[in-house]
Amino acid sequence: MMINTLVRNKVKDLSPYNPIQIESLIKLDANENNYTSTLLTQKIVKALTDVKINQYPDSNADGVKSLLAQRLKVSKDQIVVGCGSDQLIFMILSAFINEGDKMLTTTPTFSMYKISNKIVGGETIEVPLKEDFKLDYFQFMRAIKKVSPKVIFLSNPNNPTGGVIPREQIIKIVELSNAIVVVDEAYYEFYQESMMDLVNYYPNLIVLRTLSKAYGLAGARIGYAVASKEMSNILNKVKPPYNISSLDQVAARVCLENCQMVEGVIAEIIEEKNRLSQELTKLTSIRVYESYGNFILIKTINAKELYQFLLNEGVAVRYFGNGNEGLLTDCLRISIGNKIENRTLMKLINTFYSKEQQNPFFSLKVGGS
């Protein structure tokens, strides 16, 4: 039997989402937090011994929600916890998108919005960012008017560019569209500006956050959505039961109970990012984009060679290709590692460019700064 003939049309031409997992000594390719705290890990391991692994987990992730509610000053029933914010993206689209409905977002942005939308049968409309990777606000508003999207996704700060959308513009988008507006604040802790205070004001607003980035729990898969109670009720209709394992709930609780341990790390990552950014800016062959995340996007005509050189030296960064990646052509995204990792990276980049400059065919032009 040809099972392929039975696959839904929208799914047929999708490829499995296989994040590139590269063995490297220094991993700066997935916007993780490399400042792992042994103390925090020990606390998690200790707490795990009390888990009743023979029983189903709390489907409601109540303990995690209580801690989040306290911190965020919202009520527990405004929070939905997902197996990573990835799952929440999928749940939001499953709840609102009928076959052929339109979802509006920017390009480049986080790829899972479009992939998940395709799976649920929606059509994705992408408004290109400007050449400096800022939102083209007027084009975006025009697109809202033209296509009447049902759902809008805004990554703020944006992965992979690091850029942000001014609050007033997001408010206008929430007010003037008849859409569910999702503000994905996966990198909020590095930016510190949020739309969270407006979830009680706008019933069509959803704020997404995660413990994968600043909190260093990418392996535990904990994301959360905060919205009006009405919205949370809707999202709970499409939430798979027991979506967060008891082990992950424990890890999340311990992490949230000890968040003071993480706060110092966030400050250090921001400081390191600023320092690395300054160093990179000194290189004339690299264009550095301002980033409010825990990563920096750069553009250089030697992106592929630099990526390969770094990889050969044991450092993985994210390469976006040099052909069909649109605005990301010749770009590399570098996650901020710990101090030693960042210094090693910078040393290697300097070595690479000092070698390149001896090459008579070396061209310096990348434009902008």
For residue 297, the cross-strand partners are 333
Residue 223 interacts with ligand PMP (CB under 6 A): yes or no: yes
Displacement of CA 117 from its chain's centroid (Å)? 16
Q: Does 86 bind ligand PMP (CB under 6 A)?
A: yes
Query: Looking at beta carbons only, is 150 or 221 nearer to ligand PMP?
Result: 221
In this complex, which beta carbon is closest to ligand PMP, that of residue 212 or of residue 228?
212
Nearer to ligand PMP, 95 or 218 (CB): 218
Distance of CA 2 to the CA centre of its chain: 37
Residue 142 has, within 13 A of its CA and on its CB side, a CA count of: 8
Q: Please measure the distance between the N-terminal and C-terminal CA atoms of the chain and give it in whole angstroms.
A: 57
| Positions of E strands within the chain | 26-28, 79-83, 102-107, 123-128, 151-155, 180-184, 205-210, 222-226, 287-288, 295-299, 315-319, 331-335
Q: Closest separation between CB of residue 332 and ligand PMP, Å?
A: 16
Interface of this chain with ligand PMP, residues 4 to 33, rule: CB under 6 A: 31
In this chain, which of 57, 84, 108, 122 binds ligand PMP, going by CB under 6 A?
Answer: 84
CA-wise closest residue to 283 among 336, 335, 355, 337: 355
Helices 246-257 + 38-48 axis angle, to 10: 130
Residue 82's contacts (CB-CB under 8 Å, 6 or more residues apart) are: 88, 91, 222, 223, 224, 225, 239, 243, 244
What 3-state DSSP class applies to 215? coil
Size of the site for ligand PMP (CB under 6 A): 13
Q: Decide if residue 224 touches ligand PMP (CB under 6 A).
A: no
- Closer residue to ligand PMP (CB): 295 or 352: 295
211: which residues sit within 8 A by CB, 6+ positions away? 217, 220, 222, 223, 252, 255, 256
**Binding to ligand PMP (CB under 6 A): which residues in 108-127?**
110
The window from 80-88, 139-147, 314-322, 339-347 that contacts ligand PMP (CB under 6 A) reads 80-88
> Based on CB atoms, which residue is closest to ligand PMP, 31 or 344?
31
189/212 Cα distance (integer angstroms): 11
Q: Binding ligand PMP by CB under 6 A: which of 218, 238, 247, 259?
A: 218
**291 near ligand PMP, rule: CB under 6 A:** no
Minimum CB distance to ligand PMP smaller for 33 or for 155: 155
Quote the least distance from Cβ 182 to ligand PMP, whole Å.
Answer: 10
Does position 156 interact with ligand PMP (CB under 6 A)? The reply is no
The binding track of 174-193 with respect to ligand PMP, each residue x by CB under 6 A or -, is ----------x-x-------
* Two tokens, residue 148: 């009447």
Chain contacts with ligand PMP (rule: CB under 6 A): 31, 84-86, 110, 155, 159, 184, 186, 210, 212, 218, 223
